[in-house]
Amino acid sequence: MAYVVTDACHGCRYTECVTVCPVECFHLDEQMTYIDPENCIDCGGCAPICPVGAIHPSWQMPAGKGEWVEINRLRAAETPVIAAKIAPLPGADAQAGRLAS
Amino acid sequence: MSAPHRIAVVGSGPAGFYAAEALLRSGVPVSVDLFERLPAPFGLVRFGVAPDHPKLKQVTAVFDRIAGLPGFRFVGGIEVGADVSIPELSVCYHAVILANGASLDRRMGIPGEDLAGSHQAGAFIGWYNGHPDAAGLSFDLSAERAVVIGHGNVALDVARILLKTPDELRHTDIAAHALDALAESRIREVQIVGRGGVARARFSPKELGEFGALADCATGLDPDDLPDGIPEPPIDAGAEARANAAILRGFAEAQGGTGKRRRCLIRFGLEPVRLAGEGRVDSLHLRRPGSDATLALTCGLVVASIGRRTAPVAGIPYDERAGVHANLGGRIQADGVPVPGLYACGWSKRGPHGTIGTNRACGVETAAAVLADLAGLPAPIGNADALVASLAKRIGQTIDYAAWRRIEAAETARGRASGKPREKFVTRAEMLAVAAAAA
């Protein structure tokens, strides 16, 4: 069990999630963040703060998003920890607007 | 290299630890003394998080790492406000950060609130979590029905602990005295009562969902509260409110025929009016807002969980409305003017909301304010090391982080015998004795 970042983050990468993670379990690459399921303590703080609703608990994944559980596990092992907020990717606001509409 | 700036942080819950971390990792030479009134750190992670939520408590591994940062010192067993005053600290430190939480329960302000059998959630939670200030309390669990007032996660914690079977709690770090008392409990029904409707409830869906998976308790709703079913919350109520509505619909549909011996009812649109009883509570009277009709619930235990506020500290400006130290972005203010060198962090800064990690962002913000102000703060004229040494002499021993780790090791060893992650010491005297004996 852990929380899971899905493809809604891809190209956005707002990193609001990172500021409220108590255990620094977020990792990132050029496109998005990932949660290390070994470190996540299921506090749920990141999910409601994500501007694009990209984060879901592994036991309640939306339809069609199940593969992201394993992708987070794999990519978190290969990518560096991110502990502080960074600027979102260009185009993030446009993507957030699309998702909201 | 110049001597480091010295910062005192008061309170070793998540907010205190994360503020210390942000300061110590800033690259600015600072040292942090983290004051804690108990010999044990971690605040609500130890004394608030429910024993059946062990995964959340793994966050203490992060606090252990922070405690290992150069410049960090734990000053346990020292109560700021009693053993040492804020002005005494201010003499010895460039800055003082108050991270002392929200230790006071908000009261309902209704007749009968002080009858025996009527309690505040903070007391009940402290009791089952082995807080030294609550370990000696007793709760009468002999009546069939208990009522929990409030629609937040704390109310859910209280109800869940009352409704779980001893076997569901046996292998948690629940205090032994609480496990023994709960094993004898005759409570068969808990009603969780709140004034608002479904959309206004502040349950987190994850914690509400746990009520669908209790070993010997069926959870349902009272059709009288929502005669037209559960309305879909408006969009602006948020995703959590919609998730809660879906979970509650599931509870409503599953009602009846479960064979389970305990029952939880989650009730809406009911406002407490008074508690009644001869000497001790035997009923709670409620009414629908906007109506004069009242209904009475027979019950032997009432636990109010309607919010918390920070205990005012002498000499620190207080925001009565918000129930926090008066502050802007973590800078303590008197009549809108910052008080140099005084800061707040965590629940005593922003009120009792958010998850554990919310305190990390909060600590970063307060630390940033301290660091921005640091160059303009006068150098302390007192010596912090001498102060800490004199305080240790006053309690007869030094409770540093190594002392706490000895207490923790003894608790873990005690717990192993009974299959628990730890068996907490529930008095200061026991903790101090263990820390001293093993030194």
Considering the domain boundaries, does residue B369 fall inside one? yes
**Cα dist from B99 to B12, B225, B400, whole Å:** 7, 40, 18
Say which residues have a Cβ less than 8 Å from residue B342's Cβ, sequence separation at least 6: B86, B90, B95, B96, B98, B316, B331, B332
What would the pLDDT profile of A8-42 be if each residue is shown by its tens digit? 999 888 999 999 999 999 999 999 999 999 999 99
What would the pLDDT profile of B143-162 be if each residue is shown by its tens digit? 999 999 999 999 999 999 99
Residues making up chain A, counted from first to last: 101
Helix H, strand E, coil C: the string for B48-114 is CCCCCCHHHHCCHHHHHHHHCCCCEEEEECCCECCCECHHHHHHHCCEEEECCCCCEECCCCCCCCC
Helix axes B121-128, B176-183, angle to 10 degrees: 110
Dihedral sign from CA coordinates of B365, B367, B371, B373? positive
pLDDT band at B321 (very low <50, low <70, confident <90, very high): very high
Same structural domain, B295 and B315: no
Considering the domain boundaries, does residue B271 fall inside one? yes
Q: Which of B268, B287, B306 is the last residue of a domain?
A: B306
Same structural domain, B98 and B114: no
Same structural domain, B240 and B165: yes
User: Cα–Cα distance between B205 and B140 in angstroms, integer?
Assistant: 30
Q: pLDDT at position B1, please?
A: 44
User: Cα–Cα distance between B152 and B303 in angstroms, integer?
Assistant: 13
Per the structure, the complete domain to which residue B393 belongs is given by 5-103+309-399
Considering the domain boundaries, does residue B84 fall inside one? yes
Considering the domain boundaries, does residue A97 fall inside one? no
Q: Which of B270, B286, B306 is the last residue of a domain?
A: B306
Considering the domain boundaries, does residue A92 fall inside one? no
DSSP B115-137: SBTEEEHHHHHHHHTT-TTTTT-
Q: pLDDT at position A90, please?
A: 85
Considering the domain boundaries, does residue B390 fall inside one? yes
Give chain A's domain count: 1
Per the structure, the complete domain to which residue A29 belongs is given by 3-86
What would the pLDDT profile of B6-44 be if each residue is shown by its tens digit? 999 999 999 999 999 999 999 999 999 999 999 999 999
Considering the domain boundaries, does residue B154 fall inside one? yes
Measure CB to CB from residue A45 to each of B18, B240, B355 and give the nearest one: B355
Rg (chain A; Cα; Å): 12
Rg (chain B; Cα; Å): 23
Q: Are B141 and B135 in contact (CB under 8 A)?
A: no
Q: How many CB atoms lie within 10 A of CB B6?
A: 21
Instruction: Give me the helices (H) in chain A, please.
Output: 16-20, 46-49, 67-78, 92-100
What would the pLDDT profile of B358-391 be if each residue is shown by its tens digit? 999 999 999 999 999 999 999 999 999 999 999 9
- Whether the pLDDT of residue B254 is over 90: the answer is no
Mutate to test the interface with A, among B44, B206, B247 (most CBs of A within 10 A): B206
Same structural domain, B191 and B97: no
Distance from B358 to chain A by nearest Cα, in Å?
Answer: 5
Q: Give the count of Cβ contacts less than 8 A between chain A and B.
A: 54
User: Cα–Cα distance between A41 and A68 in angstroms, integer?
Assistant: 18
| Cβ-based contacts of B359 with chain A (< 8 Å) | 22
B93: phi then psi, degrees, rounded to nearest 5: -130, 150
Query: Domain with A55 in it: what CATH number?
Result: 3.30.70.20
User: Cα–Cα distance between B206 and B360 in angstroms, integer?
Assistant: 21
Give chain B's domain count: 2
Query: Domain with B369 in it: what CATH number?
Result: 3.40.50.720
Considering the domain boundaries, does residue A65 fall inside one? yes
Same structural domain, B271 and B215: yes
Considering the domain boundaries, does residue A26 fall inside one? yes
Considering the domain boundaries, does residue B438 fall inside one? no
Mutate to test the interface with A, among B44, B52, B355 (most CBs of A within 10 A): B355
